[in-house]
């Protein structure tokens, strides 16, 4: 049976034929998530055209793997040059026909992205190793397609593949989609990518297209959105905004950089409503895929679009809180220590709390996460770790709400899950 050369994204279910990125997009489409329409030039196209030119990919890959240093660099350069010389005008014509079938305006600009067989898998991502072409005109599809094939034969790809103990030559499929005219774009993680917390969606965002963020040339606005167990956003826990000088946009003429005015440079890239919509979508996608996900997204003037979904492959899961995760209050201290205390007083207070308060909880068998303190000094004044005392009371089968009743202040905004002592 002849394997297809071009498939619509909704038909991309065979990883070996369409690569990881296309499979991820197909799953998003099947689950009803908003994905720009498009198609995939399959690995069969790569194999047919490369082998027809006399280039035996498996043999060349084995040869490259056996070399090192300048010798390998030279052979890889030769492989790339041989692929650049392959005649693919017939394939390019098929791509143009597929693009026209998408019923987009003739001046539409396209995103041409890699979807290699070793890319965006559950155990390895190969993120950032292959090229992406944005703002491509219809006449540029052929060159972009060939350039992605060439990017397979890069030193970084060979080294990464070797670290995964994989001796098979990867193959390249290519995803083609219309560009989203993004007002803002970026990446989102359905869990906290550092701590592994499942109740925190982490978002990095920039105005315009996300390419400068993805390639590391600009710093993003950063957000942490807290969600409930069923994925409903509750609040923006953390918001770090950076000064932005310009944004990358796309029009019928292609990509261009627009300067931002003085007011816009300090504005948030996303509204709270957009953050909540994105966080909720991220958790829905996580449930649909059955694992934490790393997403690329874009908001145009109408809606949210998801342009990539891949499993999070490297995270340090942690059930322990850090001081930065906790909620702190001046309650009680503002009555007992109304004046600005001296450094000696603050030092005494910290030691007193550990020696005469926390030590009793430890003797009762309570677990206090490493690095967590009961007191924190901010701008010269002590604050009490309300989250920590909630945890201690809950471990002893007590009612944590009594903590607020006895000490004053407000109930916790985020209630940690606690395993009581047996």
Q: How open is the CA angle 232-238-244, to the nearest 5 degrees?
A: 115
Tens digit of pLDDT at every position of the chain (422 positions): 689 999 999 999 999 999 999 999 999 999 999 999 999 999 999 999 999 999 998 899 999 988 889 999 999 999 999 999 999 999 999 999 999 999 898 899 999 999 998 775 554 545 567 889 999 999 999 999 999 999 999 998 888 888 777 778 889 999 999 999 999 999 999 998 767 788 999 999 999 999 999 888 899 999 999 999 899 999 999 999 999 999 999 999 999 999 998 878 889 999 999 999 999 999 999 999 999 999 999 999 999 999 999 998 765 444 556 787 788 888 778 878 888 888 888 888 888 888 888 888 887 778 777 778 889 888 888 888 888 888 888 888 777 777 777 777 777 766 666 667 75
Would you tell me how many other CB atoms lie within 10 Å of the CB of residue 338? 10
Residue 406 Cα distances to 8, 68, 100, 375, angstroms:
63, 69, 69, 18
Q: What confidence score (pLDDT) does residue 292 get?
A: 92
Strand partners for 205? 186, 221
Q: How open is the CA angle 305-135-169, to the nearest 5 degrees?
A: 85
- pLDDT tens profile 339-364: 888 888 888 888 888 888 888 888 77
Among the listed residues 10, 129, 379, 407, the one whose alpha carbon sits nearest the alpha carbon of residue 388: 407
Tell the CATH topology of 6-178: Dna Ligase; domain 1 (3.30.1490)
Q: Do domains 6-178 and 184-311 have the same CATH topology?
A: no
- Class for the domain spanning 184-311: alpha beta
Q: How open is the CA angle 289-291-297, to the nearest 5 degrees?
A: 65
Q: What confidence score (pLDDT) does residue 318 get?
A: 47
**Residue 414 contacts residue 237 (beta carbons within 8 Å):** yes
Residues 6+ apart with CB under 8 A from 375: 349, 350, 353, 382, 383, 384, 385
Q: pTM here?
A: 0.75
* Domain locations along the chain: 6-178, 184-311, 323-407
Residues 6+ apart with CB under 8 A from 106: 138
Concatenate the DSSP letters of all residues of 29-41 into one string. Answer: HHTT------EEE
Q: What confidence score (pLDDT) does residue 422 get?
A: 58
């Amino acid at each position: 049976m002849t394997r297809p050369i071009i498939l619509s994204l909704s038909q991309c279910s065979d990883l070996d034929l369409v690569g990881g990125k296309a499979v991820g997009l197909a799953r998003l489409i099947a689950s009803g998530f908003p994905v720009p329409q498009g198609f995939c030039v399959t690995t069969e196209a790569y194999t047919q055209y490369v082998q027809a030119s006399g280039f035996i990919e498996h043999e060349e890959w084995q040869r490259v793997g056996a070399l090192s240093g300048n010798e390998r660099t030279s052979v890889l350069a030769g492989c790339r040059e041989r692929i650049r010389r392959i005649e693919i005008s017939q394939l390019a014509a098929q791509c143009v026909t597929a693009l026209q079938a998408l019923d987009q305006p003739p001046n539409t600009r396209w995103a041409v992205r890699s979807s290699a067989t070793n890319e965006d898998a559950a155990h390895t991502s190969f993120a950032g190793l292959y090229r992406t072409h944005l703002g491509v005109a219809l006449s540029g599809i052929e060159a972009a397609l060939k350039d992605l094939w060439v990017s397979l034969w890069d030193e970084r790809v060979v080294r990464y593949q070797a670290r995964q103990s994989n001796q098979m030559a990867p193959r390249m499929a290519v995803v083609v989609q219309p560009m989203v005219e993004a007002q803002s774009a970026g990446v989102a993680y359905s869990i906290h990518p550092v701590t592994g917390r499942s109740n925190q969606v982490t978002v990095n965002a920039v105005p315009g297209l996300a390419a400068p963020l993805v390639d590391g040339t600009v710093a993003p606005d950063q957000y942490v959105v807290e969600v409930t167990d069923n994925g409903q956003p509750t609040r923006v826990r953390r918001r770090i905004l950076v000064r932005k000088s310009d944004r990358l946009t796309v029009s019928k003429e292609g990509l261009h950089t627009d300067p931002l005015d003085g007011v816009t440079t300090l504005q948030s890239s996303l509204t709270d409503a957009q953050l909540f919509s994105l966080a909720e979508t991220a958790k829905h996608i996580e449930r649909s895929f059955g694992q934490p996900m790393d997403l690329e997204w874009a908001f145009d003037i109408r809606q949210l679009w998801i342009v990539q979904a891949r499993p999070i492959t490297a995270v340090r899961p942690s059930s322990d809180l850090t001081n930065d995760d906790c909620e702190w209050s001046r309650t009680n201290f503002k009555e007992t220590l109304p004046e600005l205390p001296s450094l000696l007083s603050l030092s005494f207070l910290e030691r007193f709390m550990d020696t005469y308060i926390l030590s009793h909880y430890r003797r009762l068998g309570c677990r206090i996460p490493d690095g967590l303190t009961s007191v924190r000094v901010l701008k010269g004044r002590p604050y009490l770790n309300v989250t920590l005392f909630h945890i201690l009371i809950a471990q002893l089968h007590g009612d944590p709400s009594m903590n607020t009743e006895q000490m004053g202040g407000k109930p916790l905004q985020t209630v940690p899950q606690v395993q009581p002592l047996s």
